[in-house]
Amino acid sequence: MLDAAQQVALIEFIHSLVIHPQRITYAVPFFTANWTEEEKLELSWDFDDLFIWAAYAGHELNVSQELYRWYDPTLGTCFTFNDVPIPAFQVGDAGEDAGFKALLRLRQDEYLPWIESSAITVYVHSRDEQVFIDTPHYFALPGSWSQFAVSLTEYQRLGGVYGSCVKEPSEVRTYYYGEKYTNDGCLTSCYQNVIHLLCGCTDPRYPGIENGSIPVCGLAEAACVLNVTDVHGDSSTWGAVCDCPIACEETLYDALAYTAPFAVNVCTMVGVRNCKKRS
C-alpha cells in the first residue's frame, strides 16, 4: 500500500506523462521496477525472434548456446557475443570474414507507439566490463548491411605524481559493478547511492546495488528520481560527492561504421547454410 505522500507523487507523475507523452520512454522501467527478470524477459524478444543466423570466423553459431541473453532495465533484452558466461572465442585473422556476422529481423510492426526510431544498438566492449545505457554505442539500421571495423586501444597511466588514477575498485568510496574498475561504473555507483539517500530506493533505469537487497524505485518514487538529475545534473558534475578518477589501465574499442543497402542474395554471405534467395 502507498502512503498519502506516495499517492500524491504517483498522481502527479502520471499527469506529467499526459502533458509530456515523450517521457513515457523513461517511465517504463518504473512501471516494471518490481517485476522479476523472468517476467521482463517474457515481454521482449528471444533468440528466434531476432536472429536468422549468426557466424564467427566463417562458422555458423548456435545462437541460443553461443550468445548470452540478458536483461537491461532500460535497453530491454540484450544479446552478447563472447560474454563472460560463454567460453571465450579467440581472435584469429583480421578482416571481414574473420569477424562476427549476423542476419537479424527487425519487427517494426511490433514496436510500441512511443518509440521514435528503430535500429539495433551495438555495444563493443571488453568481456569483463559492465555495459550501461550511456556507454558509447553504434546503430545498425533496418533494411541495411552495417559493418563495424573495430580497433583496440589500451591505456597504461602512471598515476602518482603524474595524475590521479584507479587500479582497483576498492580504491574508491563505492563500486558495485563487476571486478574491473571503470569511470562509468564508479559514477553510476555513486549516482545510485545518492538516489537511495534522497528517494529511499535505486533508479530502475540502471543496474541495482547490494545484490538487490535495496528496493528499486517504482512509479510512486519516479518523480523524486527524475527530479534529482533535473535539479543537480549528471553525476559526472557532482565533484567531491562523486570522486571517480579515470582508470590506470583502460581498454577502449573504437569502430568505424559503414552502411550499405541490404544484399538481395544472402546466400553469398559467410556462415549461411540452407538459405534461399530473397526477392
Instruction: Report whether 151 contacts 254 (CB < 8 A).
Output: yes
Average pLDDT over residues 44-54: 88
Q: What is the C-alpha to C-alpha distance for residues 167 and 24, in angstroms, rounded to an integer?
A: 39
- Tell me what the pLDDT averaged over the chain comes to: 81
| Chain centroid, CA 47 distance in Å | 17
pLDDT of residue 114: 65
Q: What is the C-alpha to C-alpha distance for residues 51 and 70, in angstroms, rounded to an integer?
A: 15
pLDDT of residue 44: 79
Number of other CB atoms surrounding residue 43 within 10 Å? 12
From 3-7, 225-229, 237-241, the region with the lowest mean pLDDT: 3-7
The pTM for the full model equals 0.76
Select from 164, 188, 160 the least CA-distant residue to 174: 188
Q: CA distances (Å), 46 to each of 49, 50, 102, 104, 105, in order? A: 5, 7, 15, 12, 12
What three-state secondary structure class fits 255? Answer: strand
For 207-230, what is each residue's pLDDT tens digit?
888 666 788 998 888 888 988 888
Average pLDDT over residues 125-137: 83
| Chain centroid, CA 147 distance in Å | 20
pLDDT(134) > 60: yes
Q: What is the C-alpha to C-alpha distance for residues 176 and 174, in angstroms, rounded to an integer?
A: 7
Average pLDDT over residues 107-120: 72
User: What single-letter DSSP state applies at residue 180?
Assistant: S
Measured N-to-C along each axis, helices 219-232 and 24-31 cross at an angle, to the nearest 10 degrees, of 130
Pick 203 or 161 by higher pLDDT: 203
Most confident option among 88-92, 174-178, 202-206, 259-263: 202-206
Instruction: Report whether 9 contacts 225 (CB < 8 A).
Output: no
Q: What is the C-alpha to C-alpha distance for residues 251 and 152, in angstroms, rounded to an integer?
A: 7
Length of the chain: 279
pLDDT-based confidence at residue 278 (cuts at 50, 70, 90)? very low
pLDDT(49) > 80: yes
**Three-state SS annotation for 86-109:** CCCCCCCCCCHHHCEEEEECCCHH
From 185-199, 228-242, 244-258, the region with the lowest mean pLDDT: 228-242
Average pLDDT over residues 79-90: 83
Q: What is the C-alpha to C-alpha distance for residues 117 and 12, in angstroms, rounded to an integer?
A: 28
From 61-65, 143-147, 152-156, 209-213, the region with the lowest mean pLDDT: 209-213
What is the domain partition of the chain in residue ranges? 32-147+261-279
Q: What is the C-alpha to C-alpha distance for residues 175 and 209, in angstroms, rounded to an integer?
A: 9
pLDDT above 70 coverage of the chain, percent? 84
Q: What is the C-alpha to C-alpha distance for residues 249 and 219, in angstroms, rounded to an integer?
A: 39
Average pLDDT over residues 138-153: 86
For 245-268, what is each residue's pLDDT tens digit?
999 988 888 888 888 887 655 454
Residue 228 grid cell: 534529482
| Chain centroid, CA 138 distance in Å | 12
Number of other CB atoms surrounding residue 193 within 10 Å? 19
pLDDT(232) > 60: yes
Average pLDDT over residues 83-93: 77
From 48-57, 116-125, 179-188, 214-223, the region with the lowest mean pLDDT: 116-125
pLDDT(7) > 70: no
From 114-118, 132-136, 168-172, 269-273, the region with the lowest mean pLDDT: 269-273
Pseudo-torsion of CA 84, 90, 94, 99, nearest 10°?
Answer: -50
User: What is the DSSP track for 206-253?
Assistant: S--SGGGTSPBP-HHHHHHHHHHHHHH--GGG-GGGG--PEESEEEEE
